[in-house]
Amino acid sequence: MRIIVDAMGGDNAPGEIVRGALAAHGKNGIEIVLVGREKDVRSAGAAYGGIPAGVRVVNATEVIEICDDPATAFKHKKDSSITVGLNMLKAGEGDAFVSAGSTGALLSAATLLVKRVRGIRRAALAPVIPTAGGQAVLIDCGANAECTVEYLVQFAYLGSFYAKRVLHLDKPRVGLLNIGAEPSKGDTLRQETYQALREAGERGELNFIGNIEGKEAMKGGCDVIVSDGFSGNIMLKTIEGAASFLGGEIKKLFLQSAKNKVAGLLVKDSLRQFKEMLNPDRIGGTAFLGISRPVIKAHGSSGAAAIENAVYQAEVVASSGFIADVEAHWSV
């Protein structure tokens, strides 16, 4: 398995990106291709013992910055790490691509260079979020993108295939994020999508369980959460903020007194497990669903641990058979 890594993407590039990729290679033997300014990449690698055999460096002289127009940056910067890396993926020189760079630029470049699966109208992000039942896929079209019934129904299928192959769920429960469980809840978009998903469920194509509120989704009420980009983004950011808030408050609670400190020691292992469950670095990256080859988006502030796990996530997606399922469904 060969994973191409954008060494120049993200707030902590190239140091933390290179460190994380080298860790994935060192621990699991994954073949890595680091794409970026070669001098900077090798300098970063030298801080961690050098670039070993099995890790290749491909020079790319340009970097797509956060201030660049995401829709056209990869065209204007043809020698950027994102453009070079995705062209390598398209040419079959790697099995997956990982980047912590601009989400918009990465999606635009992946859509136009690597291409969508035939029949897919729009690719979608699919972050995996922690729930009381384990985890769920939150799938949407991006915060600033137009959303239609057709797109939301498509996302339901993509999320279901992904949950089956990557999360290993036999019959993933698909829920439509809404303000209430009743079919009449929400605006016209939600009501029409509900009807379309219900019909898909009656045909046996999806395990659609109906509308689901955010609070029920977090309790493990479904495995795939379908949402428009605006609502999905708010939910995701709220989860991240709540996790950070809870972690801080629990820590303060156990430091308030000697008695609480003793109690903290007694439940230390359980607290560590709870913290790890909420840690976004644990998964590391989010797959773009609907692209014809695996493209994984890591968070812009990713450190080495997140990049290492994003590489593992890329390996899982690449070997899962998910894209073949999508191709087979839309080729009918």
Does residue 256 have a pLDDT over 90? no
If we measure between CA atoms, which residue out of 10, 40, 7 comes closest to residue 21? 7
Instruction: Say what the pLDDT of residue 278 is.
Output: 66
If we measure between CA atoms, which residue out of 330, 297, 319, 318 comes closest to residue 9? 297
CA distances from 95 to 2, 219, 311, 320 (A): 5, 35, 11, 12
pLDDT in tens, 95-116: 999 999 998 899 999 999 999 9
Distance CA 194, CA 296 (A): 29
In this prediction, residue 6 has a pLDDT band, given cuts at 50, 70 and 90, of very high
Instruction: Say what the pLDDT of residue 51 is.
Output: 95
Instruction: Say what the pLDDT of residue 126 is.
Output: 85
Does residue 292 have a pLDDT over 80? yes
pLDDT in tens, 212-237: 998 898 888 999 999 988 888 888 88
In this prediction, residue 277 has a pLDDT band, given cuts at 50, 70 and 90, of low
User: How many CB atoms sit inside 10 A of residue 69's CB?
Assistant: 14
Distance CA 31, CA 47 (A): 20
DSSP reduced 3-state for 139: strand
pLDDT in tens, 125-181: 888 888 887 889 998 766 556 788 999 999 999 999 999 999 999 999 999 999 999
Indicate the length of the chain as a whole number: 332
DSSP string across 161-226: HHHHHTS--SSPEEEEE-SSSSTT-S-HHHHHHHHHHHHHHHTTS-EEEEEE-HHHHHTT--SEEE
In this prediction, residue 71 has a pLDDT band, given cuts at 50, 70 and 90, of confident
Q: How big is the chain by its Cα radius of gyration, in Å?
A: 21
Q: Are 320 and 308 a contacting pair, CB within 8 Å?
A: no
Mean predicted lDDT score pLDDT of the chain: 90
Please, what is the end-to-end C-alpha distance for the chain in angstroms? 30
Distance CA 168, CA 299 (A): 24
Instruction: Say what the pLDDT of residue 110 is.
Output: 95
283 vs 131 pLDDT, higher one: 131
